[in-house]
Structure 1
Amino acid sequence: MKRKAFQITVTVLMLLSFVLVSQGFSATRRPNRPDANPGNPVTPTDFPAKFLPGIEKPGVIPEKKYFIAFSNGDMNDLWRLTFVKDVENFANRYMEEFGIKFMWTNAGHNSAKQLADIESLLALKPDLLLMSANEREPLNVVKEMCDEQGVPLIILDRGIVYQPTDDPNDMYIQSQSLDFFLNGIAMGVAVVRFLTEKYGEPKGNVVELAGILGSEPGIQRSQGVKFVL
């Protein structure tokens, strides 16, 4: 659990530096920022390539003192708490090393509050918005909000209905998450194996505790389980 959160966080924070530096979002779309403090890369240059698909230069450093905003859906369990703390810890390292500004909000499992949080964050004109959506459908509008404001959007863990595209005008530039449908399939296979071992065939009563019904992990994981069963 901790390892998964750590891997996603490191990947995303390295990626956001790469994107901001290489694509020049701050210079072309957002307020001009002062030069970043000189420093050493936060992400090791030998970071495993398998965690960084499409990234050729691990260890890149930001050129400017970018303002990064992060909207989190909830912290109601140990995984979510660990995930948010990892994001915050790595952001603190960027702030200390390069002078990056980082601000984050937590919606407390309330999609309406998360939308309000994001409106407030976008009003501050960040160079990048990170979001882990409380629910998939209600937070889908955030993509359009970012398009309108010209703020690049990276989704962490919990996604929305929209998917990133190759359109240069599309501000939804990246999604970092697991394949929850495949995860559900693995769970379904495990259920079938258990029932077969117990009854000699895959029969029995199965109760699914889906978690947050409107979240992308809950939706896709449930679909994967039902695909098998």
Structure 2
Amino acid sequence: MKNTTTYALAGAMTLALLSASAASWAKELVAFSQAGMENEWRVMDTKDMEKTFKDAGYDFVWTNANSDPAKQISDIEDLLARKPALLIVAPIEYEPLAPVPDMATKADVPLIVVDRALPGEPGKGKWLALLTTNFVDTGELVAKDVVKGLTEKNGAPKGNLLHITGNKGASPVVDEQKGLDNVLSKYPDIKFVASCDGLYSREPGRKCVEDLFQAFPKGKIDGIVFDSDDMMIGGIQAIKAAGRNELLGYLWGKDGTVDGLQAMINGEARFSVQTPPFFGEKALEVFKLFRAGKPIEPKTQYVPKEIFQRDTDQHRARLPLRIQELKAMGVGCC
């Protein structure tokens, strides 16, 4: 009887030790809610985030909201139920995702928001920081080149433009429009005569341009501003199909993709500006500061970016070099 009891106690102690060891080996979970995977930018954003945190020793799980705000809210509820060490959210739209900071605070899970903003204030509750691009500045950069391009084309800063926007209601779209307006408000003879939501994707961008051409035949518009290079490539397809080659060379994009840069080399597009998808390192840095009890400043942090133009020999020479850089990294985007 004594031996049986001794063996039972020894077995229980062994199980306890194994459980304790397993607990010490278990990796903490980082959860990422991605807005969608509809283009290479989002694919690279997700891959970068996953690699960064896995390399740092965390388990990593991510969800794809498929550009559906209701699904993204549901995804976030499911992720929070898993009690991750950190929740990272790339929101689809501004207002529909407004509950997210409170959801994270109530679940007592630290939150980092990347790419697009949300209502509320980073630094309040469990919302640690917003990591994004200064899209107002992006809009201003695009608008300044619009003024330059239309002045060259028409002899004065004047002309009618179409605007193919990204997802309406998304903070980059709102902020980029502010930047465009900040500059173009000084040039009343440059006007946006129509816009269409191209959903940041190639085929919707093509369809937008195709549809708008029905209302704006040749001679009625001087150029098109696209909120992404993907939409611009779709737009170029529509332009060529419709025989509207007078617009080639007066297309403004955003993201600095391989295809967008090639369109500039081909003389089809005029301008693009980076929207880098690589937020992983900054997110990890913020999380480490939080864990160390150190201040996170500023609460809104911007990633650096580069502009791409074709108006000088130096600018044109940069385009194929950037394509080579992207291909060497195994990416086609940003």
Task: Report percent identity of matched pairs.
Answer: 37
**Residue 196 (1) aligns with residue 154 (2):** no
Residue of structure 1 in register with 2:126 after alignment:
171
Q: Distance in 2 between matches of 1:154 and 1:145?
A: 13
The equivalences for 1:1-229 within 5 A come to: 34-35=23-24, 65-94=27-56, 98=57, 100-165=58-123, 167=124, 170-229=125-184
Q: Distance in 2 between matches of 1:227 and 1:122?
A: 39
Report the structure, 1 or 2, having the larger strand content: 2
Q: Distance in 1 between matches of 2:85 and 2:53?
A: 14
Structure 2: where are the runs of 5+ without partners?
Answer: 1-21, 185-334
State the SS of the aligned residue for 1:69.
Answer: strand
State the SS of the aligned residue for 1:129.
Answer: strand
Residue of structure 1 in register with 2:258 after alignment:
none
Paired letter, 1:120: D
Paired letter, 1:160: L
Paired letter, 1:164: P
Q: How far did residue 90 of structure 1 move?
A: 2.2
Q: Distance in 1 between matches of 2:168 and 2:159?
A: 24
Q: Distance in 2 between matches of 1:35 and 1:153?
A: 24
Cα RMSD after superposing both structures: 1.7
Q: Distance in 1 between matches of 2:83 and 2:68?
A: 23
Kept in 2: contact 1:136–1:160 (CA 8 A): yes
Paired letter, 2:54: N
Q: How far did residue 34 of structure 1 move?
A: 4.4
Q: How far did residue 135 of structure 1 move?
A: 0.6
Q: Distance in 1 between matches of 2:121 and 2:144?
A: 28
Kept in 2: contact 1:210–1:222 (CA 8 A): no
* 1:25-68 superposed Cα distances (whole Å, 9 cap, x missing partner): xxxxxxxx9446xxxxxxxxxxxxxxxxxxxxxxxxxxx83211
Q: Distance in 1 between matches of 2:102 and 2:128?
A: 13
* 1:177-210 superposed Cα distances (whole Å, 9 cap, x missing partner): 1101111111111111111111121110011111
State the SS of the aligned residue for 1:102.
Answer: strand
State the SS of the aligned residue for 2:61.
Answer: strand
Paired letter, 1:207: L
Q: Distance in 2 between matches of 1:131 and 1:35?
A: 28
Residue of structure 2 in register with 1:9 after alignment:
none
More relative contact order in 1 or in 2 (CA 8 Å, sep 6+)?
Answer: 1
Q: Which runs of 4+ in 1 moved over 4 A?
A: 33-36
Q: How far did residue 163 of structure 1 move?
A: 2.4
Q: 1:204 to 1:149 in 2, by over 3 A?
A: same
Paired letter, 2:137: L
State the SS of the aligned residue for 2:93.
Answer: coil
TM-score scaled by structure 2? 0.47
State the SS of the aligned residue for 1:113.
Answer: helix
TM-score scaled by structure 1? 0.67
Q: Distance in 1 between matches of 2:74 and 2:104?
A: 14
How many corresponding residue pairs?
A: 163
Paired letter, 2:119: V
